[in-house]
Each structure stands twice: as structure tokens, then as C-alpha cells.
Amino acid sequence: MPVDGIDYQAQLEALLEQIRAKGVRDARVLEAIRQTPRHLFVPESHRHYAYIDHALPIGEGQTISQPSLVAQMTQLLELQGDENVLEIGTGSGYQTAILRRLCTRLTTIERFPRLALQAYRNLQQLDLPPITFVIGDGTCGFPPYAPYDRILVTAGAPPKVPQPLLDQLSPNGGKLLLPVGSRQYQVLTRITKHGQRIRSKTFGECVFVPLVGKYGWKPDEVDGWHTL
Ligand code: SAM
């Protein structure tokens, strides 16, 4: 059904084709994306581009991530549906909405209050189960609901992975997915924890805005704007 003369549904189906072509085959992930209208998470000025496979500005120098990357990262979490999940970097709330359809409990942290509030409003438009919103430094995790079966970081972490996130990861096969590297580019990394044993696997290069915080990049280490 076209909205303001734009057939978002047709554009979404075309985007899903591109996402499949990039190797995302998990039917639950694809369905979660189909159920999540990206144009609701994009500022009005950029709404026409909502279904292009590209990151877009959302304010505060931050971005809503590229949809195919959101899909790939969600697939790499290997969610079964019964997980307690922590997301760091709420941004627009788009990835949050997709995650919420695929797990039992979701906590999301954003350092910019204005983005957190806008994400809350965006997510109110969808019929989703409750989500815990936290405004603060996600590099410290969120101990009240730990341990987490999955932790997803949607901003680029420095080479030393934030220790609180490793500590708050479930020792029963918990998975932490995050971009790790320099401020300019990172490698998508999945860390799995069994007991105190940590295993790490990488999935190619990516470019994210920096993870800024006590266990991330310091604000004065971040120069200029970074976009996806
Ligand atoms: N996944 C989001 C979406 O779909 O819109 C996009 C996330 S954006 C690429 C990264 C977000 O991480 C930004 O909103 C940024 O403010 C946030 N961020 C960076 N460092 C953070 C920290 N220490 N704690 C919480 N959020 C942080």
C-alpha cells in the first residue's frame, strides 16, 4: 500500500532480495526484517532512501546502519528465540526492533539521550513486547540483567574488547558480536564464552561509528565525523 505516493512494501521486498544475495538465509531473520518498516526509523528528510542498502544519518553525528549489515549481524547472533540479549548502541532503534522479534528479553543502551528518546518513539509505532531502554555508557554493560546470552555492539570498539562485556556474557555459550579495530575501520568479531574459555571468530571488515566510553574510545580520541 503506497504511503505519500511511495510503495514502501515493494521497496522492502527488493531490499530483502539484496540481503538474501549477500548470504542472509535465516528465515526468522528475514521475516523480522520484513516486519520492520525501516522508513519509520529514518528522519523525514531521508525517508525516500529508507530501503536503499545504505547507512543514513540520524542526528548527533550517528547513523542507522546499512540494512544488509544489520541482517548479517543478526544472523551471526544465531538467536533461537529464548535469549536474554543486550544491545549497545540503540541509534534509531531499527536493529532493536529486529532483535526484539527474535529473543525473550532485550535491553538496549544508548549514550545520546536525544537518540534514545527518538528510538523509543520510533519503536512505540510497532506492536512489540517490552524493551528496557538505558541511557548511558554501554561499554560498562548493564549488570542488573546479566548474564546475557547475546551481546550486540553496533559501534566500533577499540582492539581491547571492553572487559565488562566479557564479564557479563553467559558462560554457557554466550556470544558477543562487535566490530573491533581502529577508529577508521573494524573487523566484525564474534566471541563465544564457555566457562572461562573465550573463543573468537572474525567475519570480514566493516566501518562503524566509534564506541565511545570508559572501556571504548575516549571522546577526545574521536576526530571528525564517522559514517557507515
Ligand atoms: N543499530 C543502530 C540502528 O539501527 O539505528 C545504529 C547504531 S549506530 C551505528 C551506533 C550507536 O552507538 C550510535 O547511536 C552511538 O551513539 C552509540 N554508541 C556509541 N558509543 C556508545 C556507548 N558507549 N554506549 C551506548 N551507545 C553508544
pLDDT at 1: 52
Indicate if ligand 1 lies below 6 Å from the C-beta of 123. no
Number of folded domains in the chain?
Answer: 1
Q: Is residue 189 part of a domain?
A: yes
**pTM (2 decimals)?**
0.95
pLDDT at 222: 61
Catalytic residues: 65
pLDDT at 4: 65
Spell 32-63 as b/e; 16+ CB within 10 A means b.
bbeebbbbbbbeeeebeebbbebbbbbeeebb
Domain with 146, as residue range(s), is 8-221
> Which residues contact residue 222 at a Cβ distance below 8 angstroms, ignoring those fewer than 6 apart?
183, 210, 212
Residues of the chain with pLDDT under 50: 225-228
Q: Is residue 103 part of a domain?
A: yes
Q: Is residue 227 part of a domain?
A: no
Determine the longest span between alpha carbons in the chain, in angstroms. Answer: 55
Are 186 and 157 a contacting pair, CB within 8 Å?
A: yes
Q: Is residue 176 part of a domain?
A: yes
Indicate if ligand 1 lies below 6 Å from the C-beta of 208. yes
What's the pLDDT tens digit per position in 176-215?
Answer: 999 999 988 999 999 999 999 999 999 999 999 999 999 9
Q: Is residue 202 part of a domain?
A: yes
Q: How far is the CA of 116 from the centre of ligand 1 (A)?
A: 10
pLDDT at 220: 73
Indicate if ligand 1 lies below 6 Å from the C-beta of 216. yes
Q: What is the CATH number of the domain that holds 198?
A: 3.40.50.150
Q: Is residue 142 part of a domain?
A: yes
pLDDT at 228: 36
Q: Counting runs of H as helices and runs of E as strands, what totals does the chain give?
A: 6, 9
The grid coordinates of residue 28 equal 526468522
Q: Is residue 3 part of a domain?
A: no
